[in-house]
Structure 1
Amino acid sequence: MHPKQIIDDFKSMGATFVLESDELYIDNPENIYPELEELAKSYKARIVAFMKGNYSDQDHAVKQTIDKIVNCFLRTDEVVNQKIENWIGDDPVSVELILTLFVELGENGWMNLKESISNFENEKTDKLSKEIFDRAMAYFKKGA
């Protein structure tokens, strides 16, 4: 989910995000459900990056693609799963990169597989994610 969408959705409910010294706060948290506050926490790193102006459309495209790949591996019901499965079935190098990404995320503390990877990303995972994204886009552009 794009951080801008989260911010806009919260604002429409009367709650706003405040960033103070890299700490993220929600003004008027009583206006949102606790589940939504948990959602915001799970995307905190991306929301902070967006609010600081460090989250581009390209960043989102990469991260959204990786989120879809994670969901595919976790067997979440996604329409794109078959496309992803076809791609990784044809590209063992990408499978190796994805597994390396999962190991790195695990080393960063991602243990609850139902939790967004957002707060466990770092420079190394970003580099792996970009490489995976580039391989996926190359595969789909050639019409496979």
Structure 2
Amino acid sequence: MSVVECAFYLVHVFATISWLGAMYFNLVLIFPSYRAGAKDIQQERRMYQVQGTRAAYWLYAFIIFTFSSGIFLAVVQERSVLDSFLVIKISLLSVMAACHLIGSYFIWPRIMFSLGDEVRRYLNRYQFTMLVSAALGSLVVVITYVEHLAK
């Protein structure tokens, strides 16, 4: 394995783990603490807004690094587009990214601009898309582990 390929493996693993870790950290610690610590739904929404504004750039960078390094590694390893592990991983990562985009570009604005009790419904939807995304990412990690065991 070349130094460049090793570097791309490290980038791929770090970006994927960071992407998943950020989502689980939010789901397990941050979001419940916002709900418990806010005096009302408007304060909770403001906390989400501050956190979302800071985290979005990092998460999208991790998504881009995960995909680009994965594509580079697939090309360098001369993997076939028909390789079943590769097809499954690309499919799951694509749905994972789609969940992220739906949460960010369709649900997030509704959280920020909804009135009254509507906010809770959209917060729950946002958390659900993040949970689905994180679960799919975890499945990709398991599939990758199984793939390497099979070799």
TM-score (normalizing by structure 2): 0.36
Q: Larger RCO: Structure 1 or Structure 2 (Cα < 8 Å, ≥ 6 residues apart)?
A: 2
**Structure (1 or 2) with the greater strand fraction:** 1
> TM-score when scaled to structure 1?
0.37
